[in-house]
Structure 1
């Protein structure tokens, strides 16, 4: 006689979620009996708040691999960089674990990597690197980095820089592109000149409505002159106070990997607008149409579409100000704490594109109740905001820290990523970090 082997909780939720719910939660929507014991055995601890665990919720320990499980992601090992999560090698892309973002100002070592093409050669004379500004301007400009610094006011700002696909991995069905968690974000201290000042020196014609950005990074095909990416933005954003032509990061020359000797920093909007190795800004009389523009590229539906459906993006709109998001930097997902731990001192960061963050809340009982955290003011506009707070734990066991931010217009991170789109932009769902006590 062959004995039937029951699937694990993880396998059951993956293969047959309806049966998993029926077995684990029953009709009343709370874990019961043997299923509760099985779930506790699977996570390696009792679940003190099992009674408030929403039906159909797969524990974060299963749905989000953790290094403590031995099933974590591949790690980038590169001189001068921290242990980042490798997202792809060609082009090179790597995500910063949230615990490495526990710095008020992100170090170059811990800054995420987002490339679209190859790395250009290191220039022999970085100060002689030349930027061309042309198109719908009265005077074409060709300025070296040294001339930019000597001719225009130099300013320093802490500025958030976030990939447009940050949070992409939370979408279901899965979308195309690097499966970022929350770590495609940085808050470096950038020094440079305002793009606005340079555009005013060139003299914008009345016909100027948008910019187009070009860099020296070669296309992966190797085709000479073919840009790896060339995105652009509305003139209004280009003329903002914090949109910079940057040549220093955290008081030092920008590392080559991050766009030296000159890069555009367009804070609060998708990081693809912050062109690395910048050598040309083309002022256009229409929205830019370079690679990375139009269709579904960095664009989201104006009206919701069916998740998983195909769409050419004809009625999509460009993703501009990034949605509100938060990170937990004090505790790694999958952390195991000492027996008897009865409180967690939490800290992290939150940001909201062009807006500010008005509140951050955390929960350890699967969202049944929420504790408000203390949110600091930003160092300046477009800088992230640090948050801190304490939550109580009634006993040893398995917990999940859920954390969410609310922006200055009252929009809160949703429980699931909203507005599904084929390339997974703007997915800013509430995050969950598994914690085991004892």
Structure 2
């Protein structure tokens, strides 16, 4: 199978997703291909759909098939999750490259996409607040005054995996496609903050951008998140102007944005215009109530929740995905060996191991895990599976991080906006 193999089920996913295959056009295609065998349970409960529907319960209404993205320079298999603002995720099988191409990189916006600037080097960034010297620096000055570095690092939406929560959580129903790993070129944010001179009172950053609020009110920041000073001073937290060796595309925050690797992508402000250093935790849009927060004490799923019981989402949880074969792939009768490829990452941590299963988790096989190119790069993995017979198989992938935390079967610790959902990725294949 090539890296660009597309199957009838591509982009829909047999993962633990509420956007499940049941009733969709993908199911009709796969049903014809596999002779009516049902795919995974829509609730992500780790049981076959036939068993999940036992007891005479009525079948759920057939959901609509996926809507594919039509956007200049983007792969036409990205799946649209929202149109206002524009949000689109990447099917796992399109994430089979070591470095995610720009055309395959997911899209996440919170406001209106600003027009592309005609003079990128004149773009101005202000550093103010709890600093000794307020800075106003253009992108051209950033490039000339600081030594550029390039690092391959994962950028992941904070809501990645949200679709697996039951009952459904608010927000875009991401499966695993709200992530990508590009090569980012820029300067460490710490170098710029050192030039501004942080005061002893510096506690938190506050990020601001040029995108207009969806309401059209220019006085309202679309999103203004921030990070603790320690994370801002991490040498891997960067102000970047290039992606995969090309000028940063407008849709990805060009001409200049932040990259705060390992943490929710919303902290990596696009179209960056200002960073204000604050003497307390930032309280801008996207920083309060339930926004980008998980529960301190476990909540009853579906409960209203108490903002006082929420903590800020920082390091993202461990995750692994199967990038080849694609979900719904069919293999010739008599095939007794399958080659798997995938990717894994773990926020601020590293991945210790990845295991795969073909028998619903009754037994596991260790995958071959590659070393990252640099910190915050994803770790690619491979495995060779021995197939005992022809038939329908589900392949599960499970990663374990460097502290021993393992991906669960289900998205646990429900919270109102569905953060931290990192259930195992599962695909279905047919042999024969």
Q: In the aligned structure 2, how far is the partner of 1:367 from the partner of 1:382?
A: 28
CA contact (8 A) 1:325 1:428 kept: yes
Instruction: Confirm or deny that 1:372 pairs with 2:363.
Output: no
Which of 99, 106, 116 is equivalent to 1:112?
A: 106
Structure 1 position 350, deviation (Å): 0.1
The answer to whether 1:255 aligns with 2:249 is: yes
Residue 70 of structure 2 is aligned with which of 77, 86, 101?
A: 77
Give the Cα–Cα distance (whole angstroms) in 2 for the partners of residues 412 and 265 of structure 1.
26
Structure 2 contact 102–243 (Cα < 8 Å) conserved: yes
The answer as to 2:404 corresponding to 1:410 is yes
Query: How big is each residue's C-alpha offset from its partner over 1:399-422, in whole Å with a ceiling of 9 and x where there is no partner?
Result: 000001000111100111111100
Asked if residue 197 in structure 1 is aligned to residue 191 in structure 2, the reply is yes
C-alpha deviations, 1:293-312, integer Å up to 9, x for none?
01110000011010010013
Match of 2:273 among 272, 279, 286: 279
1:58 aligns with 2:52: no
CA 1:184/1:59 → structure 2, altered by over 3 Å: closer, same or farther? Answer: farther
Does 2:322 match 1:328? yes
* 2:258 is aligned with 1:264: yes
Aligned to 2:4: none
Q: 2:299 aligns with which of 302, 305, 329?
A: 305
Partner residue of 2:59? none
Where does residue 153 of structure 1 map in the other structure?
147
SS at match of 1:314: helix
User: What residue ranges of structure 2 are gaps of 5+ in the alignment?
Assistant: 1-17, 19-30, 39-44, 54-61
How many pairs does the alignment contain? 388
Q: CA deviation at 1:70?
A: 11
2:35 matched residue in structure 1: 44
* Partner residue, 1:354: 348
Q: Deviations over 1:200-230 (max 9, x none)?
A: 0000000000000011010000012311100
What is the alpha-carbon distance in structure 1 between the residues aligned to residue 46 and residue 136 of structure 2?
Answer: 61
1:419 aligned to 2:413? Answer: yes
1:127 deviates by 0.7
Which position in structure 1 is the counterpart of 2:377? Answer: 383
SS in structure 1 opposite 2:182? Answer: strand
> Normalised by the size of structure 1, how large is the TM-score?
0.85
Alignment of structure 1 residues 115-126 onto 2, 5 Å: 115-126=109-120
RMSD after superposition = 2.2
Instruction: Please give the alpha-carbon distance, in whole angstroms, between the structure 1 residues aligned to 2:51 and 2:327.
Output: 9
- What do the CA deviations read for 1:48-92 (whole angstroms, capped 9, x no partner)? xxxxxx995437999xxxxxx996411112221012011011000
Match of 1:224 in 2: 218
Question: Contact conserved, 1:299 with 1:313, CA < 8 A, in 2?
Answer: no
1:393 is aligned, of 387, 390, 411, to 387
Runs of 4+ off more than 2 Å: 40-47, 54-62, 69-72
Per the alignment, residue 143 of structure 1 pairs with 137
Q: What TM-score does the superposition give when structure 2 sets the normalisation length? A: 0.86
Richer in helix (by share) = 1
What is the alpha-carbon distance in structure 2 between the residues aligned to residue 61 and residue 154 of structure 1?
54
**Which protein shows a greater Rg?**
1
Deviation at 1:44, TM superposition (A): 2.8
What secondary structure is seen at the aligned counterpart in 2 of 1:149?
Answer: helix
